A and B are shown apart, each in its own frame.
Chain A
């Protein structure tokens, strides 16, 4: 199979103007991936599936990732005019800004016919709140059908073009996306017989009199 760089160049030649970049992988597995812009994602997927050399006819795995918002501390240099006739005064100050997070979907593609792979595609949403739409690859590989439903259910990515986008693991009336990093689970820890760590803290909120840890309560 061709190298990832050669494949990227071939894709850029075939889809000029599309956003296709190689994402390096720091681990020894050396499985690099391609980040594709949502606009060209489905076309690139069809191309990869129908290409005679690659023949990536099986999408083995669809994963959702949640990259939460994080604060980034930056150093900003400002220059202000100094004394008249003198050089400008350069001051540095640190400012924090909020780097918005996003949701990401990772597709692992393999070729059954040519026995090669994986080719890994990634697609990123705009943010985690309102721009959460991505094109669905179910029309290209049917195996994405349930897996994209799961990413929708647990992460909240809305897949356009999916034939049946409903919740799959949680119940229909459920509100929230549990696999997100900021998901708060319901408080049903009224009783914790083997207290440990934060679970004990959750349980103790239901026992306002048990203020001190280790306080022995009279049994009922």
Chain B
């Protein structure tokens, strides 16, 4: 079992308080006698750098972290219970609110799972449109992540301003297509709710053509920046074996050197038709996770270029595909896609009625947090903030 080695990090001075297995109100750890120089601090749930209502209970030896326990559930909105009470189509707007930065990819993952469950084919135009929207979402997410990560490093808002300037351009596209900036609710079972017009596609083409220049400007300021490199290189190394065993997915896994991208491995949708590379890191530190995302944005631009060029005509949604009153046969299905944060999957169990009997969201941020303690041990609190930023969590999907 891959747990951090207590002796290596001075944990011998911290005794873990064993509550009994039935969840009593016990803290996760308590310093032993003679360890009076350890300081227990709760970072959060209200904290400028915790990316939402997230709490880390850290035990500090001076400035170094000797124990870290993440505590969440502050945004637990019983999404899964609502899924059991709502029909299949009715849950689609709720999936927007999981990873609320990328509603397009959440919608697609859910639509994919239902299409697998009910055996609904997808129109070809919709597959291409889904790729376009997902890659725009990926651009948006990674840009914002770079901005937030720099804010955590102490850059206090300026890279975030640049990032949000570009995000607004992409949100304008989403709004003109779907009617909403963030909660787009665009995917349906077998296609998309809205059909992009020629003007929309031309505007997207203009954005994609200009995005490379923005990335050049952004990277020129940040990627070779001496302060960024000093703060992020060597910090929060994640070994590849631990990453795979801990279920880490997404750019965090690829930064550790594992070439696992569901767009290539599963080849869902029409991704096998596109020519793109998967950037892989080497050390698995914060700098690699940041650089993998910057390189992924370049690849997303390449995919968007090809998808916009090859977008076929045809119906965007099969009118005979059942949306309301969908009653799949009793059975279950697990559908997953490569979201910007990792593998987002939906496990649906149907009992033949209009509501799923079990609706489970496999959220990438939730599983990626498993290794937070391992990454932060021995680092300072300031590094813990950057490490958390590089994991790229969003509490909507951690807590659901």
Interface residues of A (CB under 8 A from B): 25-29, 31, 57-61, 63, 65-66, 106, 108, 112-113, 115, 118, 120, 138-147, 152-154, 158-159, 162-174, 178-179
Is B210's beta carbon under 8 Å from chain A?
Answer: no
Instruction: Provide the B348-363 mask, 1 if CB < 8 A to any CB of A, else 0.
Output: 0110000000101010
Which residue of A27, A144, A159, A174 is within 8 Å of B118 (Cβ)? Answer: A27
Judging by beta carbons under 8 Å apart, are A165 and B21 in contact? yes
* One of B31-39, B75-83, B126-134 contacting the partner: B75-83
Judging by beta carbons under 8 Å apart, are B347 and A152 in contact? no
Which residue of B26, B80, B244, B328 is within 8 Å of A172 (Cβ)? Answer: B26
CB-defined A-B contacts under 8 Å, sample of 25: A25-B332, A27-B116, A27-B117, A27-B331, A27-B350, A28-B329, A29-B116, A31-B334, A60-B249, A60-B336, A63-B347, A63-B358, A66-B358, A106-B347, A120-B334, A142-B245, A142-B247, A143-B245, A143-B248, A146-B366, A168-B72, A169-B72, A172-B23, A178-B78, A178-B81
Q: How far, in Å, is B363 (CB) from chain A's closest CB?
A: 10
Which residue of B24, B72, B116, B370 is within 8 Å of A28 (Cβ)? Answer: B116
How far is A29 from B117 in the complex, measured between Cα atoms in Å? Answer: 6
Judging by beta carbons under 8 Å apart, are B345 and A26 in contact? no
Q: Of all chain A residues, which has the CB nearest B349?
A: A65
Given A25-B331, A63-B347, A108-B334: A170 touches B76 (CB 8 Å cut-off)? yes
Is B330's beta carbon under 8 Å from chain A?
Answer: yes
Chain B residues in 8 Å Cβ range of A63: 347, 358, 360
Interface residues of B (CB under 8 A from A): 1-3, 16, 19, 21-26, 28, 72-73, 76, 78, 80-81, 116-119, 242, 244-249, 258, 260, 265, 328-336, 343, 345, 347, 349-350, 358, 360, 362, 366-367, 369-371, 399
The residue in B117, B248, B258, B347 that gathers the most chain A C-beta atoms within 10 A of its C-beta is B347
Judging by beta carbons under 8 Å apart, are A163 and B332 in contact? no
How far is A165 from B16 in the complex, measured between Cα atoms in Å? Answer: 12
Given A63-B358, A178-B81: A170 touches B329 (CB 8 Å cut-off)? no
Chain A residues in 8 Å Cβ range of B258: 112
The residue in A63, A113, A162 that gathers the most chain B C-beta atoms within 10 A of its C-beta is A63
How far is A116 from B35 in the complex, measured between Cα atoms in Å? Answer: 48
Judging by beta carbons under 8 Å apart, are A60 and B1 in contact? no
Q: Of all chain B residues, which has the CB nearest A28?
A: B119
Q: Of all chain A residues, which has the CB nearest B345?
A: A61
Given A158-B21, A168-B72, A179-B80: A146 touches B28 (CB 8 Å cut-off)? no
